[in-house]
Chain A
C-alpha cells in the first residue's frame, strides 16, 4: 500500500501562494496522486489528481516530481476560505477495487 506523509500544519498569508508538500515514495507507477480538502465539519472536497504530468484546474495546481516520490499542491492566491485540512491520498488495492486511504493531512491556516 502506498503511504503518504504530510506536515501536520502550515500557515499562509492571504493572497499569497500556498504550497503544500506530500511524500509518497512507495506509490506504484500506475497509481494516481489525489488531493482532497476538508473544511471544518464538512465532507471532503476533491481538488485535483495527477499521474506523472503537472496538472492545473480552477482550484489548484499539482506538481509531481519526475521520480513520483513527492508532489506539491499549489493554491496560487490563498483566501481565508481556503483554511482547511488538505489530504494527499494514496490508493489501496483491495481485491478488484482501489480505495482511497487518507493520510493524516495538513491543516492549512490562511492568515489575514
Chain B
C-alpha cells in the first residue's frame, strides 16, 4: 500500500472560520510533510515532521498550525486565513528525511478562502 489519503478533497472557508485538513498513511513512514501549491507554480514546502516531532517550519504564518498526533496522521489546522492562502495543500510521507527516501504524495486538498 503506497497510498497517502487526504480529506477533504475540497474546502471553502471564510476568513473567520476554523477548519482542519487531514492526512493519513499506513506505510510505516516516520516523516510527513505539508506543501502548498499555488496555481501554475511548483509545490512549496511548509512543514516537516520527523518521528512525530516538527523538524522544519518554513517560516509559515501562525494561522497555519500543524499537528502530528501519531506516526500515521498529520493535520493542518487553519484559522483566520486570507484569500491569498487559497491553494492546493499537499501532504507527503517518506521513510525518513535523509534525502534518499522517496516521498509519496496525497491527492491534495483544494482550499478556497473567501
Contacts and interface: CB of A to CB of B under 8 A. Distances in A.
Contacts of B102: 46, 49
B107 A42 contact: yes
What bracket does the count of chain B residues touching chain A fall in?
A: 20 to 34
B107 to A, nearest CB: 5
B90 A43 contact: yes
Interface string A32-65: 1000000001111110010000000000000000
A66 B70 CA distance: 43
Contact of B45 (A87, A100, A104): A100
A111 to B, nearest CB: 21
Interface stretch (A18-26, A73-81, A90-98): A90-98
Given A42-B107, A98-B99, A104 B4 contact: no
Given A44-B90, A87-B42, A95-B55, A100 B108 contact: no
Nearest to B102: A46
B35 to A, nearest CB: 8
A59 B70 CA distance: 33
Interface in B59-114: 88, 90, 92, 97-100, 102-108, 110
A-B pairs, top 5 by smallest CB distance, nearest first, are: A98-B99, A43-B105, A102-B42, A97-B97, A91-B99
25 contacts: A32-B100, A41-B110, A43-B92, A43-B106, A43-B107, A43-B108, A44-B92, A44-B103, A44-B105, A45-B105, A46-B103, A46-B104, A49-B102, A94-B48, A95-B55, A96-B97, A97-B50, A97-B55, A97-B98, A97-B99, A98-B98, A99-B45, A99-B97, A99-B99, A100-B45
Interface of B: 4, 42-45, 48, 50, 55-56, 88, 90, 92, 97-100, 102-108, 110
